Amino acid sequence: MKSFASWINAARLRTLPLSVSGICVGSSVAAYQGYFNISIFSLALGTTLGLQILSNFANDYGDGVKGTDNEDRTAPQRAIQSGLISQKEMLQAIIITAIATLFLAILLIYASFGTEKLLSSLIFFLLGIASIAAAIKYTVGNSAYGYRGMGDIFVFIFFGIVAVYGSYYLYTHDHNWISLFPAISIGLLSTAVLNINNLRDRASDEKAGKITLVVKLGESKAKDYHYSLILGALMCMVIYTVINSTELNDFIYLIAFIPLIFHLRRVVKNEDPKLLDPELKIVALSTFGISLLFALGLLW
């Protein structure tokens, strides 16, 4: 077994705040309507963190096996690429993490629905299986969808719609279509993180045969796309607040959008892909900040 530090590095802790943003937003919308359960909240966080770590392990393994992680890649070296963890060890970690995440998902479903509402339980169980499969299949296997320009769609669905609207439903057992606006917003911001990652790695990905959406669009159009993701997220969040707002402090999350405005300027002017690496943290932490301030404004 490799050192604990190697596994911490492979888990890529800087991605974890982004992964829980959807749960924070969905939970706060439910709490605002009078629904909250600490067991559901805790298990939802645990499941989401498990999915993110699983995705990070799977990406390390998939790109490592395919040779996408090589000397041409501008990002910091991953665990397999650097030799800190072997392919076999990473595969074992993927299996263990997938099983643990599925177990947490089952506990979450039981905490929400108990032994009643079997149809809802089945639907969420299938969503859990689909989420685990999506986390692994992004880069693993011959049909990895991340190599066919479909990563953005899956990130938007699972880290936006499923995370926000799904967690909301786990509390309320009811639909509130207005809640789709913050779900779309978090989905767009999560997709923006992936887009920055792919902008940074565009040249090496194209050379290695990893056809991301950025590779398909080209650098200029990918930057325009990035602009639309950030501004679309802002618009959807504001629409929700305007519809539901009762006080000005409900708009406090706008503060966390300020770093993203400066971020967009740097992205548009960028000519060196290596300089985009710090922008990943800025978008991820800004999204987490938006989710926390959104919850604070809603519940304060």
**Residue 14: inside a domain:** no
- pLDDT score at 1: 47
Please spell the DSSP secondary structure of 29-83, one letter per residue: HHHHTT---HHHHHHHHHHHHHHHHHHHHHHHHHHHHHT-SSTT--SPP-HHHHT
Question: The domain containing residue 277 runs over which residues?
Answer: 21-299
**Residue 9: inside a domain:** no
CA dist list (Å): 9 to 5, 6, 53, 204, 248: 6, 5, 11, 22, 41
**Residue 112: inside a domain:** yes
**Residue 16: inside a domain:** no
Euclidean distance between CA atoms 158 and 169, whole angstroms:
14
Tell me the pLDDT tens digit for each residue of 73-131: 666 666 787 778 888 999 999 999 999 999 999 999 999 999 888 999 999 999 999 99
What's the total number of domains in the chain?
1
The residue whose two tokens read 């409900």 is: 250
**Residue 7: inside a domain:** no
Residues 6+ apart with CB under 8 A from 87: 61, 64, 65, 80
Whether the CB-CB separation of 139 and 59 falls below 8 Å is answered with yes
CA dist list (Å): 31 to 19, 110, 171, 176: 20, 20, 8, 13
- pLDDT score at 218: 92
- pLDDT score at 157: 94
**Residue 5: inside a domain:** no
CA dist list (Å): 49 to 19, 143, 228: 7, 25, 27
Tell me the pLDDT tens digit for each residue of 42-63: 999 999 999 999 999 998 888 8
Q: What is the pTM of this model?
A: 0.92
**Residue 11: inside a domain:** no
If DSSP codes are grouped into helix, strand and coil, which group holds residue 209? coil
Going residue by residue through the chain (300 aa), what tens digit of pLDDT does each one get?
A: 457 888 888 888 888 999 999 999 999 999 999 999 999 999 999 999 999 999 999 988 888 887 776 666 666 666 787 778 888 999 999 999 999 999 999 999 999 999 888 999 999 999 999 999 999 998 888 788 988 889 999 999 999 999 999 999 999 999 999 999 999 999 999 999 999 999 998 988 888 888 999 999 999 999 999 999 999 999 999 999 999 887 888 999 999 999 999 999 999 999 888 899 899 999 999 999 999 999 999 998
**Residue 8: inside a domain:** no
